[in-house]
Amino acid sequence: MKETSDSGLVSTADRGRPGVRTALTSIQGLLLVALLVEGAGPIYWMAKGSVTATQDLLHDPMALWPSHARWGNLADSWNTLQVGHYLLNTVVLVGGVWLVQLVVATMAGYALAILRPWYGKYVYGAVLITLFVPGTVTLIAQYVTILHLPLVGWNLVDTPLAVWLPAGASTFNILLVKRFFDQIPPELCEAAQVDGAGAFTVFRRIVLPMSKPILAVVSLLSVMGAWKDFLWPMLAITDPDSQPLAVALPRLAQTSDQALLIAGLFIASLPPIAVFLIFQRYIIRGAAFTGLKG
């Protein structure tokens, strides 16, 4: 007779009882509805508000849909609030942050996990220590650094480099990539080195092609983090015409029509949602490899 083990709170025998099965189904349905309301509710309300007149928003903010949808709000927000201009600024900053973080994380992870120099454990320990330092503590030192870049003395304020370069020091991404690279069989790299491949060739021909899942995870984390970042871009880029959406929209909220502002927020939220939907397969696969939790 085949024995089965019950690892859940409810045994298999209890699950077969009609009353228990009905209760479990009801609880699961309620939890699913609650998750949908919590996750998709704000997005739906923002989408609804983007095509609603300001007076209707103030009169009945919880209406499921406006009686007269104003689709022109999206175009008015794009033109009046210059959402397209600030969106382009955001894409430039986010693209640079993504590239810098990806290069630094993969190079550092490769050095720590594959090359393993004698001083690697000390560098790894120093990287781990930075996880316990709050980001706000280093803001002043970071700003002084971009104000007068060491050795060259350049002033990076109001330039994309002021956002790109500090973003490379992402300890979490480095640890994720290192953990993934630790799972690559060392025999593959050793065999390539025996055949005469150098360190960079092994990195480009063997390690990177096997690392698409973790590269997708790092890309998502860097893009999402840079897209919604507010404090550092506000400090590093003081020119209003060069600021990203996350900084420009709160400033415009003081003088803009509420409906147009919500339309601008809705437009700003579409690119990161699209990025996740396009790359979700690689992201989920990379999360499974690294053990990344929610």
The answer to whether 240 touches 248, Cβ cutoff 8 Å, is yes
pLDDT 10s digits, 114-141: 888 888 889 888 888 888 888 788 888 8
Are residue 125 and residue 160 in the same domain, yes or no? yes
Are residue 179 and residue 52 in the same domain, yes or no? no
Q: What is the DSSP letter of 238?
A: -
Instruction: Give me the CATH number covering residue 113.
Output: 1.10.3720.10
Domains held by the chain: number: 2
Q: What is the pLDDT of residue 288?
A: 59
6 part of a folded domain: no
Are residue 47 and residue 162 in the same domain, yes or no? no
Are residue 122 and residue 264 in the same domain, yes or no? yes
pLDDT 10s digits, 61-99: 777 787 777 788 888 888 888 888 999 999 999 999 999
CA distance linking residue 72 with residue 263, whole number of Å: 10
Are residue 113 and residue 43 in the same domain, yes or no? no
* Residues constituting the chain: 294
Q: Which domain holds residue 117?
A: 74-290
3 part of a folded domain: no
49 part of a folded domain: yes
Q: Which token pair is 184?
A: 């690559």
Q: Is the pLDDT of residue 289 over 80?
A: no
Q: What is the pLDDT of residue 292?
A: 47
Q: What is the pLDDT of residue 285?
A: 63
Question: Which segments within 154-251 are labelled E, that is strand?
Answer: none
What's the pTM? Answer: 0.79
Q: Which residue has the higher pLDDT, 57 or 89?
A: 89
Q: What is the pLDDT of residue 286?
A: 56
253 part of a folded domain: yes
4 part of a folded domain: no
Q: What is the pLDDT of residue 106?
A: 92
Are residue 40 and residue 178 in the same domain, yes or no? no
Are residue 195 and residue 66 in the same domain, yes or no? no
List phi, psi (to 5°) of 181.
Answer: -65, -25
Domain boundary among 44, 72, 100: 72
